[in-house]
């Protein structure tokens, strides 16, 4: 290990990770009910213990992403679900917004983008299970929380108490539930379908009897699912018949403009067994119910009788007019890994894929001051800065999270059964933050020096952990190492490699494993190195065996210590051959790991390295690229790749190349993809806007509704910039306050500037835009308005600047694989 990276003053942290007691069982009214398919003891049965979920008799670690079918054009569902599955998720959750499905009393709609049944069936085709968030109230930044206008008006007129056991309300809920459940007939887990769970209401804190009534009502109407859930944050009173799920966000648009960083947010970047967060939804409780929850007023939950499960780990963050957070991909990934180190056994993201607010009978269906809510949010966009954007844009955190999810696919069953020991939980930025999850025999050591840029943590010199397990002590690394600032990792402890071979420890993270018995006779384990941290592999059981590849070997404490001497990358393979078995270890760098997928291609699981977003469907690869060329490499390599269909027709091609370490590479040529510059360096003028108004129950800044004084920027887009590709996005790099995009007089997109580019999907309006162009209406930025934006983007001038306007042309190409290529 290079001396330059070793601290002269190491401090060894000693941890005792004892074997956990067996979890409680049969104490929860959850899991597959007796007497139905899926009963415990039958294939694929779901059960819930006091510590984790089980499936088919072994621990199950679900990874769930929120995807709102009603906010995504139906023709894009398959693409979004494909990216979700390729991201390593196994479940999607989705709101059923009452206002969308019953816009007028008794008039139920399940057509088009509202076809819940078709969405669930398609999710199943992609290999995804579904959790249906049934409401009746959902929030999701929807108008009246998803309640139809007529329901709100009836409540005001008659005194009917919504979200309670008021008989008049329950009668209406029963009708809505009955129609929803009818859409799911034949699609539940017990019937062999993908629906594994249902959430009752959302962010309901003080009505446990009502939540219990909602489940009973759904069951009376015929719904049978193993998982019944409710949101548990904010000190919510959740009945014993529902599993409480928790949240964690890096920031929140719902905070006030004088909040530089929400009080609870730093907690989520530390390891902690505390599950609750009092800040999420606190603005609505104060605004609608007059309840102010002060820190410390509600005991935070750490309940050993229930598994630590989440449904709203922030996949990004929405913006409101008054407060516009800028959560980064690294924030999202670090928070998610911190929850794994803290004991989570169900990772659920909100949102995983963004969408667009609907337009209903009463106009746009977003939360607003006008409807009595505390925040004005954009009228159209619900992008949320999610891993998959509003228009299918695949972002960096899709790749960062996929690395964690591939690991959970490989070893999540073992991790779920491991309990957590936490250290370094203070706010001191100079303190090492660590946790160990272990079953007493093996485990993982979690370490982090990451916190968002506004309050970064220090680097950590001389890091070494001494972890006491039931029958051994593992020291990792064998020589202390310096950790740079801004990194998070989970190092394996006593990870099984092959017969007789065990990875006692490693300073690299488990990514995935591929079975290559039919190719090379040995599995391939994939690890990923952390930038700035030297890779050390400590192997037990190698004995008189051999280690090959770019490593230096030394014997220490009865094990073989291998220091990586080469540079991590797709060709860096360490071969381990023990007396009874062997394994190859591929050590990737982080950049390459961010390009790695594990997909079912031509009937088998393969590793896919791709420059462009890719997913699999029915054994074929589906690539979405905004560049004219993209490289793909596969392992195990098929004999060929061929274009099945492409946006560019006959001009799309795939050209074979070379490859090493078992990879084979191809270059995808999609000449129609790319960018078309529409405008650059614009400085449109708008008169100073009127003094900002305030509104809503918390007297916050209100979004402007008058655009007569806005700068108008007409844009002409040639037809050939829009044609011949799967999707055409207008990407606007600008600064200002609020922008709207109009096509044929209709507002098709809006944007509260907060530091990110603004994307507008022109695909549905190609003909209109090619004929008449489109218009941007832009209001100027003014610092003294008092809008909160992230410190990293605050230093912008008053007024409006438009740096560039491009059409981003996204091609879709489907590739099929040919016969297997022999391993070499």
Extract long-range pairs of 648-656: CB within 8 Å, 24+ residues apart: 648/672, 648/673, 648/724, 648/725, 648/811, 649/724, 652/811, 652/813, 654/813, 654/815
**Between these two residues, 439 and 819, which has the higher pLDDT value?**
439
Residue range 458-499, pLDDT digits in tens:
999 999 999 999 999 999 999 999 999 999 999 999 999 999
The string of DSSP letters for 485-522 reads TT-EEEEEEEEEEETTEEEEEESEEEEEEE--TTTTSS
Percent of the chain with pLDDT over 90: 85
pLDDT of residue 140: 97
* Radius of gyration, alpha carbons of the chain: 27
C-alpha neighbours within 13 Å on the C-beta side of residue 149? 12
Which residue in 268, 202, 264 sits closest to 232, CA to CA? 202
d(CA 345, CA 410): 14
In this predicted structure, the answer to whether residue 27 has a pLDDT above a threshold of 90 is yes
Q: Check if the beta carbon of residue 751 is closer than 8 Å to that of residue 378.
A: yes
Residue range 409-463, pLDDT digits in tens:
999 999 999 999 999 878 888 899 999 999 999 999 999 999 999 899 999 999 9
Residue 296 pLDDT level (bands cut at 50, 70, 90): low
CA of residue 507 relative to chain centroid, distance: 25
pLDDT of residue 278: 74
Evaluate the omega torsion of the peptide bond into residue 351 and state whether it is cis, within 30 degrees of 0. Answer: yes
**Residue 617 bridge partners (DSSP):** 620
Q: Check if the beta carbon of residue 437 is closer than 8 Å to that of residue 418.
A: yes
In this predicted structure, the answer to whether residue 6 has a pLDDT above a threshold of 90 is no
In this predicted structure, the answer to whether residue 599 has a pLDDT above a threshold of 90 is yes
pLDDT of residue 1: 37
Which residue in the block uniquely carries the two structure tokens 């209109």?
Answer: 768
Show the tokens assigned to 49: 């213990």
Backbone angles phi, psi at 547, to 5 degrees: -125, 125
Residue range 241-264, pLDDT digits in tens:
999 999 999 999 999 999 999 988
pLDDT of residue 690: 80
Q: Check if the beta carbon of residue 500 is closer than 8 Å to that of residue 576.
A: no
Pairing mode, strands 63-66 and 91-95? parallel
Q: How far apart are the first and last CA of the chain?
A: 31
Residue range 75-94, pLDDT digits in tens:
999 999 999 999 999 999 99
Residue 301 pLDDT level (bands cut at 50, 70, 90): low
**Between these two residues, 278 and 463, which has the higher pLDDT value?**
463
Q: Check if the beta carbon of residue 172 is closer than 8 Å to that of residue 214.
A: no
**Between these two residues, 274 and 163, which has the higher pLDDT value?**
163
Determine which of 10-14, 224-228, 619-623 has the lowest per-residue pLDDT on average.
Answer: 10-14
d(CA 797, CA 464): 48
Determine which of 277-281, 293-297, 613-617 has the lowest per-residue pLDDT on average.
Answer: 293-297
- Helix, coil or strand: residue 164: coil
- Helix, coil or strand: residue 580: coil
Exposure string over 763-801, b if 16+ CB within 10 A, otherwise e:
bebbeebbeeebbbbbbbbbeebebbbbeeeeeeeebbb
Q: Check if the beta carbon of residue 268 is closer than 8 Å to that of residue 421.
A: no
d(CA 77, CA 119): 7
**Residue 526 bridge partners (DSSP):** 512, 586
Angle value at C-alpha 429, between 426 and 435, nearest 5 degrees: 50
Residue 824 pLDDT level (bands cut at 50, 70, 90): very low
**Residue 728 bridge partners (DSSP):** 809
In this predicted structure, the answer to whether residue 724 has a pLDDT above a threshold of 90 is yes
Q: Check if the beta carbon of residue 680 is closer than 8 Å to that of residue 665.
A: no
pLDDT of residue 433: 95
d(CA 48, CA 414): 16
- Helix, coil or strand: residue 3: helix
Show the tokens assigned to 92: 């999607």
**Between these two residues, 10 and 525, which has the higher pLDDT value?**
525
Average pLDDT over residues 392-401: 98
- Helix, coil or strand: residue 167: helix
Residue range 90-123, pLDDT digits in tens:
999 999 999 999 999 999 999 999 999 999 999 9
d(CA 412, CA 550): 30
Q: Check if the beta carbon of residue 610 is closer than 8 Å to that of residue 623.
A: yes
d(CA 88, CA 81): 11
pLDDT of residue 299: 58
Which residue in 704, 721, 771, 703 sits closest to 743, CA to CA? 771
Q: Check if the beta carbon of residue 184 is closer than 8 Å to that of residue 223.
A: yes
Determine which of 31-45, 59-73, 163-177, 610-624 has the lowest per-residue pLDDT on average.
Answer: 31-45
- pTM for the model stands at 0.96
pLDDT of residue 273: 87
Determine which of 134-143, 294-303, 304-313, 754-763 has the lowest per-residue pLDDT on average.
Answer: 294-303
Extract long-range pairs of 718-724: CB within 8 Å, 24+ residues apart: 718/676, 718/770, 719/766, 719/770, 721/676, 721/678, 721/807, 721/809, 722/762, 722/763, 722/766, 722/769, 722/770, 722/807, 723/766, 723/770, 724/647, 724/648, 724/649, 724/672, 724/809
pLDDT of residue 543: 82
In this predicted structure, the answer to whether residue 4 has a pLDDT above a threshold of 50 is no
Which residue in 149, 160, 201, 206 sits closest to 177, CA to CA? 201
Average pLDDT over residues 716-736: 97
Measured from the Cβ of residue 756, the count of other Cβ atoms closer than 10 Å reads 16
Residue 691 pLDDT level (bands cut at 50, 70, 90): confident
Average pLDDT over residues 750-758: 98
Residue range 661-685, pLDDT digits in tens:
889 999 999 999 999 999 999 989 9
d(CA 323, CA 375): 9
Which residue in the block uniquely carries the two structure tokens 């002269």?
Answer: 8
pLDDT of residue 252: 96
pLDDT of residue 294: 61
Residue 3 pLDDT level (bands cut at 50, 70, 90): very low
Residue ranges with strand state E in 2-106: 11-16, 46-48, 53-55, 58-60, 63-66, 91-95
In this predicted structure, the answer to whether residue 280 has a pLDDT above a threshold of 90 is no
Query: Residue 745: is it exposed, middle or buried by C-beta count within 10 angstroms (0-12/13-18/19+)?
Result: exposed
Where helices occur in 221-373 by DSSP H, the ranges are: 282-284, 329-342
Average pLDDT over residues 191-220: 97
Determine which of 355-364, 520-529, 774-783 has the lowest per-residue pLDDT on average.
Answer: 520-529
Show the tokens assigned to 773: 């162009």
d(CA 49, CA 747): 50
d(CA 266, CA 32): 38
pLDDT of residue 687: 87
Q: Check if the beta carbon of residue 739 is closer than 8 Å to that of residue 747.
A: no
Q: Please give the mean pLDDT across all residues of the chain.
A: 93
d(CA 75, CA 297): 47
Pairing mode, strands 694-695 and 700-701? antiparallel
């Amino acid at each position: 290990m290079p001396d330059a990276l070793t601290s002269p003053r190491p401090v060894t942290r000693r941890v005792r990770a004892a074997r956990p007691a067996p979890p409680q069982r049969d104490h929860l009214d959850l899991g597959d009910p007796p007497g139905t398919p899926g009963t415990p003891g039958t294939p694929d049965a779901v059960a819930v213990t006091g510590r984790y979920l089980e499936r088919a008799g072994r621990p199950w670690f679900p990874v769930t992403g929120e995807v709102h079918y009603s906010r995504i054009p139906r023709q894009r569902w398959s693409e979004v679900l494909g990216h979700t599955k390729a991201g390593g998720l196994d479940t999607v959750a989705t709101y059923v917004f009452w206002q969308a499905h019953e816009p007028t009393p008794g008039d139920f709609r399940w057509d088009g983008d509202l076809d819940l049944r078709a969405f669930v069936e398609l999710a199943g085709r992609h290999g995804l299970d579904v959790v249906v968030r049934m409401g009746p109230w959902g929030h999701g930044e929807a108008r009246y929380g998803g309640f139809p206008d007529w329901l709100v008006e009836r409540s005001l007129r008659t005194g009917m108490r919504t979200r309670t056991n008021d008989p008049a309300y329950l009668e209406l809920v029963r009708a809505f539930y009955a129609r929803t459940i009818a859409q799911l007939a034949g699609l539940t887990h017990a019937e062999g379908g993908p629906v594994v769970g249902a959430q009752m209401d959302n962010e309901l804190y003080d009505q446990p009897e009502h939540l219990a009534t909602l489940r009973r009502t759904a069951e009376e109407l015929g719904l049978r699912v193993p998982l019944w859930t409710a949101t548990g944050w904010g000190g919510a009173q959740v009945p014993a018949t529902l599993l409480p799920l928790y949240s964690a966000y890096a920031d929140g648009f719902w905070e006030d403009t004088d909040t530089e960083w929400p009080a609870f947010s730093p907690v989520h970047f530390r390891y902690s067994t505390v599950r609750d967060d009092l800040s999420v939804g606190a603005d609505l409780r104060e605004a609608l119910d007059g309840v102010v929850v002060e820190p410390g007023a509600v005991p935070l939950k750490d309940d050993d009788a229930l598994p630590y499960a989440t449904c709203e780990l922030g996949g990004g963050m929405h913006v409101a007019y008054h407060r516009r957070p800028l959560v980064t991909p690294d924030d999202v990934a670090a928070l998610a890994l911190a929850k794994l180190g803290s004991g989570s056994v169900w990772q659920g993201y909100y949102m995983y894929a963004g969408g667009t607010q609907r337009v209903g009978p009463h106009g746009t269906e977003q939360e607003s001051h006008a409807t009595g809510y505390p925040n004005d949010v954009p009228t159209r966009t619900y992008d949320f800065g999610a891993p998959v954007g509003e228009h299918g844009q695949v972002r960096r955190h899709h790749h960062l999270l996929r690395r964690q999810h591939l690991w959970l696919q490989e070893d999540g069953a073992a991790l779920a059964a491991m309990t957590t020991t936490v250290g370094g939980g203070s706010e001191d930025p100079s303190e090492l933050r660590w946790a160990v999850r272990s079953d007493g025999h093996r485990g993982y050591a979690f370490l982090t020096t990451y916190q968002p840029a506004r309050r970064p943590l220090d680097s950590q010199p001389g890091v070494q952990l001494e972890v006491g397990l039931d029958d051994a002590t593992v020291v990792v690394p064998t020589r202390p190492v310096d950790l740079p600032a801004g990194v998070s990792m989970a190092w394996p402890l006593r990870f099984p490699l092959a017969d007789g071979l065990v990875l006692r420890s490693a300073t690299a993270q488990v990514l995935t494993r591929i079975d290559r018995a039919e190719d090379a006779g040995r599995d391939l384990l994939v690890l990923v190195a952390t930038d700035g941290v030297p890779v050390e592999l400590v192997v037990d059981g190698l004995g008189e065996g051999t280690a090959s590849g770019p490593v230096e070997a030394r014997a220490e404490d009865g094990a073989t210590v291998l220091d990586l001497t080469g540079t991590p990358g797709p060709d860096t393979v360490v071969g381990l051959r023990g007396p009874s078995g062997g394994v190859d270890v591929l050590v990737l760098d982080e950049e390459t790991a961010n390009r790695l997928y594990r997909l079912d291609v031509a009937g088998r699981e393969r590793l896919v390295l791709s420059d462009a977003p890719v997913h699999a469907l029915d054994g074929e690869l589906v690539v979405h690229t905004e560049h004219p060329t993209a490289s793909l490499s596969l392992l195990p390599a098929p004999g060929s790749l061929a274009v099945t269909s492409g946006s560019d027709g006959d001009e799309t091609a795939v050209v074979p190349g070379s490859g090493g370490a078992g990879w084979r590479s191809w270059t995808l040529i999609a000449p129609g993809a790319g960018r078309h510059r529409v405008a650059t360096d614009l400085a449109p003028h708008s008169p100073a806007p009127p003094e900002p108004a305030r509104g809503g129950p918390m007297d916050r800044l209100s979004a402007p509704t008058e655009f007569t004084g806005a700068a108008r920027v007409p844009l002409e887009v040639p037809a050939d910039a829009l044609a011949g590709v799967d999707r055409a996005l207008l990407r606007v790099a600008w600064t200002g306050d609020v922008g709207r995009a109009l096509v044929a007089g209709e507002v098709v997109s809006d944007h509260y500037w907060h530091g990110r580019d603004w994307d507008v999907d022109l695909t549905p309006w190609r003909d209109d835009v090619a004929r008449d162009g489109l218009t941007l209406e832009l209001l100027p930025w003014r610092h003294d308005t008092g809008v909160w934006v992230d410190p990293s983007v605050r230093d912008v001038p008053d007024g409006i600047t438009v740096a560039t306007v491009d059409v981003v042309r996204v091609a879709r190409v489907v590739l099929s694989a040919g016969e297997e290529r022999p391993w070499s």
